[in-house]
Chain A
């Protein structure tokens, strides 16, 4: 168990809908990262938050947004869903902002999103 908690484990929805994925980081970690992994694809970095502020942005679509709350949990919001958004969404956390030797990322078990 990595200590990173993601909910829900599975989510089934229809095209055009909006969903929210939730992540609780490991105790003491200030950074949260979101990744997308489509079927048989690699890990695509979406966005990083550090202590409530956006720190780095990857290949995140405009239909997607995220935030990190004062208690450090994070939510990833996906709207106007398309079939191609079906994927595993992973959250990871680290102590700092990713630039130091201590900032090893630990991953949650993921949320499997199916858009029908």
Chain B
């Protein structure tokens, strides 16, 4: 069974850059990597998606090395409102594997 692992928690301060890594050793050729943000008692919210190399949007960047066995979500200049749980998802044809989730705490 494919395992997708993340650090349990991370701490940061406002204004810092935060990098959260997801390990997905069993990723298949056609799988995509997606990252979600979840606040308590809310549904996960889409942040960014990628297949390889680097992807960037207005809120985050996603770095995927050539072997694709890991991915790193980068949040620039975090604020208190970025305190949440972050999940990676490896998805493909008939395959959906969420990571274990990383609880990010941003302090003043």
Contact = CB atoms under 8 A, between A and B. Distances in A.
A binds B: yes
Interface of A: 2, 4, 33, 42-45, 48, 55-56, 58, 88, 90, 92, 97-99, 101, 103-110, 112
Interface residues of B, number: 25
B42 A104 contact: no
A49 to B, nearest CB: 12
Nearest 3 A/B pairs, CB to CB: A107-B43, A99-B93, A56-B94
B44 A104 contact: no
7 contacts: A43-B98, A56-B94, A56-B95, A92-B44, A98-B91, A105-B46, A106-B46
Contact of B96 (A33, A88, A108): A33
Contact of A42 (B91, B93, B96, B99): B99
A103 B91 contact: yes
Nearest to B44: A107
A90 B94 CA distance: 18
Contacts of A101: 32, 49, 51
A45 B45 CA distance: 16
A4 B42 CA distance: 12
Interface of B is mostly: strand
Query: For chain A, what secondary structure do more than half of its interface residues adopt (helix, strand, loop), or is it mixed?
Result: loop
Contacts of A4: 43
Contacts of A58: 96
B92 A2 contact: no
B98 A42 contact: yes
A21 to B, nearest CB: 13
Contacts of B98: 42-45
Nearest to A56: B94
Contacts of A92: 43-44
